Amino acid sequence: MDGQTQVQEVYAASAARLVAQLFAVTGDYAEAQDAVQEAFVRVLARPGRLRQVDNPEAWLRTIALNVARSRYRRRAVFDRLVRSGRLAPTGQGVPELSPDHVALVAALQRLPRATREAVVLHHLADLPVAGVAQALGCSVEAVKTRLVRGRRALAADLTETENIGGAAVSGSRDRGVRHA
Protein backbone atom coordinates (compact mmCIF):
# COMPACT_ATOMS: atom_id res chain seq x y z
CA MET A 1 0.00 0.00 0.00
CA ASP A 2 1.55 3.32 -1.01
CA GLY A 3 2.11 6.17 1.39
CA GLN A 4 -0.77 8.23 0.09
CA THR A 5 -3.20 5.38 0.58
CA GLN A 6 -1.92 4.94 4.10
CA VAL A 7 -2.46 8.63 4.81
CA GLN A 8 -5.92 8.34 3.30
CA GLU A 9 -6.72 5.47 5.64
CA VAL A 10 -5.65 7.52 8.63
CA TYR A 11 -7.73 10.41 7.31
CA ALA A 12 -10.80 8.20 7.03
CA ALA A 13 -10.33 6.92 10.54
CA SER A 14 -9.21 10.03 12.39
CA ALA A 15 -10.12 13.27 10.63
CA ALA A 16 -13.60 13.61 12.13
CA ARG A 17 -12.32 13.11 15.66
CA LEU A 18 -9.48 15.56 15.13
CA VAL A 19 -11.80 18.22 13.72
CA ALA A 20 -14.11 17.85 16.72
CA GLN A 21 -11.18 18.28 19.09
CA LEU A 22 -9.75 21.26 17.22
CA PHE A 23 -13.21 22.80 17.13
CA ALA A 24 -13.36 22.61 20.90
CA VAL A 25 -9.93 24.22 21.13
CA THR A 26 -10.45 26.98 18.57
CA GLY A 27 -14.17 27.60 18.77
CA ASP A 28 -14.20 27.91 15.00
CA TYR A 29 -15.32 24.91 12.97
CA ALA A 30 -13.87 26.19 9.70
CA GLU A 31 -10.57 26.91 11.43
CA ALA A 32 -10.61 23.43 12.94
CA GLN A 33 -11.22 21.81 9.56
CA ASP A 34 -8.49 23.88 8.01
CA ALA A 35 -5.93 23.08 10.71
CA VAL A 36 -6.65 19.36 10.41
CA GLN A 37 -6.47 19.50 6.63
CA GLU A 38 -3.16 21.35 6.88
CA ALA A 39 -1.83 18.64 9.18
CA PHE A 40 -2.67 15.98 6.61
CA VAL A 41 -1.14 18.07 3.82
CA ARG A 42 2.11 18.25 5.78
CA VAL A 43 2.06 14.52 6.38
CA LEU A 44 1.46 13.92 2.68
CA ALA A 45 4.71 15.72 1.92
CA ARG A 46 6.50 12.88 3.72
CA PRO A 47 3.95 10.08 4.05
CA GLY A 48 6.59 7.62 5.19
CA ARG A 49 6.94 9.46 8.46
CA LEU A 50 3.60 7.99 9.46
CA ARG A 51 5.40 4.72 9.98
CA GLN A 52 7.75 6.32 12.46
CA VAL A 53 5.08 7.11 14.97
CA ASP A 54 3.27 4.69 17.20
CA ASN A 55 0.06 6.68 17.12
CA PRO A 56 -0.56 8.54 13.84
CA GLU A 57 -3.68 10.24 15.18
CA ALA A 58 -1.78 11.63 18.15
CA TRP A 59 0.95 12.88 15.88
CA LEU A 60 -1.55 14.54 13.55
CA ARG A 61 -3.28 16.11 16.54
CA THR A 62 0.02 17.64 17.62
CA ILE A 63 0.58 19.05 14.14
CA ALA A 64 -2.96 20.41 13.91
CA LEU A 65 -2.71 22.01 17.35
CA ASN A 66 0.54 23.67 16.34
CA VAL A 67 -1.07 24.94 13.15
CA ALA A 68 -3.97 26.37 15.10
CA ARG A 69 -1.67 27.96 17.69
CA SER A 70 0.57 29.67 15.18
CA ARG A 71 -2.34 30.92 13.14
CA TYR A 72 -4.00 32.29 16.21
CA ARG A 73 -0.94 34.30 17.09
CA ARG A 74 -1.18 35.97 13.70
CA ARG A 75 -4.80 36.86 14.04
CA ALA A 76 -5.06 39.92 16.23
CA VAL A 77 -8.29 40.88 14.60
CA PHE A 78 -9.75 37.64 15.82
CA ASP A 79 -8.89 38.67 19.34
CA ARG A 80 -10.90 41.82 19.02
CA LEU A 81 -13.91 39.90 17.82
CA VAL A 82 -13.81 37.54 20.74
CA ARG A 83 -13.15 40.26 23.29
CA SER A 84 -16.43 41.68 22.19
CA GLY A 85 -17.96 38.56 23.69
CA ARG A 86 -18.89 36.80 20.51
CA LEU A 87 -17.83 33.34 19.53
CA ALA A 88 -15.22 33.09 16.87
CA PRO A 89 -16.73 33.73 13.45
CA THR A 90 -17.81 30.53 11.83
CA GLY A 91 -18.03 29.72 8.17
CA GLN A 92 -19.66 26.98 6.22
CA GLY A 93 -20.03 23.55 7.71
CA VAL A 94 -20.86 24.76 11.18
CA PRO A 95 -22.17 21.86 13.21
CA GLU A 96 -25.74 22.05 14.40
CA LEU A 97 -25.17 22.41 18.10
CA SER A 98 -27.57 22.38 20.96
CA PRO A 99 -27.60 25.48 23.18
CA ASP A 100 -25.67 23.53 25.82
CA HIS A 101 -22.94 22.67 23.37
CA VAL A 102 -22.72 26.23 22.09
CA ALA A 103 -22.34 27.40 25.67
CA LEU A 104 -19.67 24.78 26.32
CA VAL A 105 -17.64 25.82 23.28
CA ALA A 106 -17.93 29.44 24.32
CA ALA A 107 -16.88 28.63 27.88
CA LEU A 108 -13.91 26.67 26.62
CA GLN A 109 -12.72 29.70 24.67
CA ARG A 110 -12.61 31.72 27.88
CA LEU A 111 -10.17 29.30 29.46
CA PRO A 112 -6.45 29.99 29.17
CA ARG A 113 -5.16 28.22 26.12
CA ALA A 114 -3.05 25.67 27.99
CA THR A 115 -5.95 24.84 30.28
CA ARG A 116 -8.34 24.59 27.35
CA GLU A 117 -6.08 22.20 25.47
CA ALA A 118 -5.66 20.02 28.53
CA VAL A 119 -9.42 19.87 29.10
CA VAL A 120 -10.14 19.06 25.44
CA LEU A 121 -7.48 16.38 25.20
CA HIS A 122 -8.68 14.77 28.42
CA HIS A 123 -12.41 14.95 27.83
CA LEU A 124 -12.88 14.91 24.07
CA ALA A 125 -9.81 13.03 22.95
CA ASP A 126 -10.12 10.66 25.90
CA LEU A 127 -6.42 10.87 26.70
CA PRO A 128 -5.36 9.87 30.21
CA VAL A 129 -3.61 12.52 32.26
CA ALA A 130 -0.21 11.09 31.39
CA GLY A 131 -1.14 11.16 27.70
CA VAL A 132 -2.18 14.79 27.93
CA ALA A 133 1.12 15.61 29.60
CA GLN A 134 3.01 13.90 26.80
CA ALA A 135 0.96 15.61 24.11
CA LEU A 136 1.40 19.07 25.61
CA GLY A 137 5.00 18.62 26.66
CA CYS A 138 4.42 19.35 30.31
CA SER A 139 4.42 17.44 33.58
CA VAL A 140 1.60 15.26 34.83
CA GLU A 141 1.25 17.58 37.82
CA ALA A 142 0.83 20.56 35.52
CA VAL A 143 -1.92 18.75 33.62
CA LYS A 144 -3.72 17.90 36.85
CA THR A 145 -3.55 21.51 37.93
CA ARG A 146 -4.90 22.71 34.59
CA LEU A 147 -7.74 20.18 34.69
CA VAL A 148 -8.75 21.25 38.18
CA ARG A 149 -8.72 24.90 37.24
CA GLY A 150 -10.48 24.20 33.97
CA ARG A 151 -13.20 22.21 35.67
CA ARG A 152 -13.82 24.90 38.22
CA ALA A 153 -13.92 27.63 35.60
CA LEU A 154 -16.24 25.67 33.34
CA ALA A 155 -18.53 24.77 36.20
CA ALA A 156 -18.80 28.38 37.30
CA ASP A 157 -19.16 29.68 33.78
CA LEU A 158 -21.77 27.15 32.67
CA THR A 159 -23.76 27.50 35.89
CA GLU A 160 -23.88 31.21 35.31
CA THR A 161 -24.80 30.55 31.70
CA GLU A 162 -27.76 28.43 32.71
CA ASN A 163 -28.89 31.09 35.09
CA ILE A 164 -28.97 33.84 32.52
CA GLY A 165 -30.42 32.12 29.57
CA GLY A 166 -28.46 29.36 27.94
CA ALA A 167 -26.68 29.78 24.69
CA ALA A 168 -27.51 33.44 24.31
CA VAL A 169 -24.83 34.15 26.85
CA SER A 170 -22.12 33.44 24.34
CA GLY A 171 -22.97 36.68 22.62
CA SER A 172 -23.69 38.82 25.65
CA ARG A 173 -20.75 38.64 27.98
CA ASP A 174 -18.55 41.62 28.54
CA ARG A 175 -15.93 39.87 30.58
CA GLY A 176 -15.40 37.04 28.13
CA VAL A 177 -11.73 37.09 27.21
CA ARG A 178 -10.28 34.56 24.86
CA HIS A 179 -6.86 33.38 25.84
CA ALA A 180 -4.27 32.63 23.22
Partner 1 sequence: MPELDFRGPDFRGPDFRGLDSAAQAAFRPHFADVLHRARRRRRTRIVAAVVTGAAVLAGGGVAVAQLPARHALPPADSPTPTPEFLPAPDPAASARAQAPGRRTRYGPTQAGDLDRLYVRYGDCRDRDCAPGVAVSADRGRTWQKIPLPVPVNSLAALYPTGPRTVAVRVQTQLAAPGGTITGEKFWLTSLDGGLTWRRAELRQVPALPAGARVPDRMPGPDRDPLITVDPSTGDVLQLAHRSTLRSARFVESIPVDAGLWVSGSTGASTGPDSRISYTGSAVEVSRDGGRSWQRYVFPEQIVSNDDFGGVAVASHNGQTAYAVGRVGATLRIYRTVDGGRSWQRTAATAQVGERRITAAVRSDGTLVVQAGLDAGENPVMFTSTDRGNSLQPVPLGPGASAVPVPGGYAQSGWPQSSAVWLSVDGDDWSHVAPPD
| CA separation for the pair 76, 74 (Å, rounded) | 6
Which one of the spans 72-80, 81-89, 101-109, 165-173 is the region binding partner 1 (CB under 8 A)?
A: 101-109
- CA quadruple 11, 14, 20, 26: dihedral, nearest 10: -70
Contact status: 64 vs partner 1 (CB under 8 A): no
Q: How many CA atoms lie within 13 A of 73 on its CB side?
A: 5
User: At its nearest, how many Å lie between partner 1 and the CB of residue 104?
Assistant: 5
Q: CA 171 → CA 83, 98, 103, 151, 165, distances in Å? A: 10, 15, 10, 22, 11
Report the residue number, 25 or 82, with the smaller CB distance to partner 1. 25
Which one of the spans 22-30, 67-75, 81-89, 171-179 is the region binding partner 1 (CB under 8 A)?
A: 22-30
Residues that contact partner 1, how many (by CB under 8 A)? 67
User: At its nearest, how many Å lie between partner 1 and the CB of residue 72?
Assistant: 19
Residue type for position 142: A
Query: Which residues, in sequence order, are CB contacts of 165 under 8 Å at separation 6+?
Result: none
| CA separation for the pair 84, 82 (Å, rounded) | 5
Residues in contact with partner 1 by CB under 8 A are 1-6, 8-9, 11-13, 15-17, 19-21, 23-24, 29, 32-33, 37-38, 40-41, 44-49, 51-55, 58-59, 62, 93-98, 100-101, 104-105, 107, 122-124, 126, 129, 134, 137, 141, 144-145, 147-148, 151, 154-155, 158
